[in-house]
Structure 1
Amino acid sequence: MTQPPHDEPTAENSEELREQVEQTREELGQTVAALAAKTDVKARAQEKAAEVKQQAAAKAGELKEQVVAKAGEVKAKATDLTHQAQDRLPDPVKDTAAQAAGQARARAARAGELWEEKAPEPVRQKTAHGAQAARDNRTLLLTTAGVATLVWLACRRRKG
């Protein structure tokens, strides 16, 4: 028979021996369970996928916050640049622009009336739906227009 390891005491009686055997069985069962968990590739892959998904969701939230903040900055910058441009315009140009805008509104109203009379119903419905979508997403459209204006101004400055 084998001798017990030197660091473990030997059993004095059969009861102690049974307890040692039971404890060894429990430890062996725990070791086997741990090894089985390590070799369960599917479970480990699912755990890793869940971890990556959670990290991606957190990163997406951070990026969304950054985009919202940057959009606010761009909107403020576009508003500032618009005011600066308006302030630099001479009064005769402003007056001419106001007159042109009034005439454009009048022409648009006449065109709208003509549109109502001549356009087929399905086309009018789709156009109304598109206009409503534009009104519902006004902030996004204005922000996009502001960004486009900033890009255009930046390109002009680089060329000039």
Structure 2
Amino acid sequence: MNEQPQGDGSAETDRLREQVEHTREDLGRTVEALAAKADVKEQVVEKTAELKEQAAEKAAQLTGKLREKAGQAADLVKEKTPDQVLEKADQAATQIRDTAVHAGQLAAEKTPEQLRQKAASAVAAARANRTPLLVGGAVLVVTLLLLRGRKQK
């Protein structure tokens, strides 16, 4: 009937198969793209990550600018402060440190051994239970502030 030469039909068949395969690949990419657009949850996750990254970059920029401004302000204060004042401030700081060390030594010498041991165990307990102590202290401060506010009214 309609017989075509074997060589010509085979080449045409191969070309059609390649087109079909190429079309399938294109269709697969299109379906993946549509599925990605339809996945709202994934879009939210991606957008959130993008916004977090942008916020972190902005925060880093602002922190850098603030540090730079603070450094400039400190330099300006140092420049404007007379040398005599800086020397006196340094002397006062040294004297305060020395006095604090001396007071600590005197307190250690005068404190009975039993009291020092109890203080050391109290410090160890406080360090071991730091979070509950901080929370309790915060609650105490808030309570005192609320009571103070009510008394003033």
The TM-score, its normalising length taken from structure 1, stands at: 0.44
Q: Determine which structure has the larger helix proportion and give its number.
A: 2
The TM-score, its normalising length taken from structure 2, stands at: 0.46
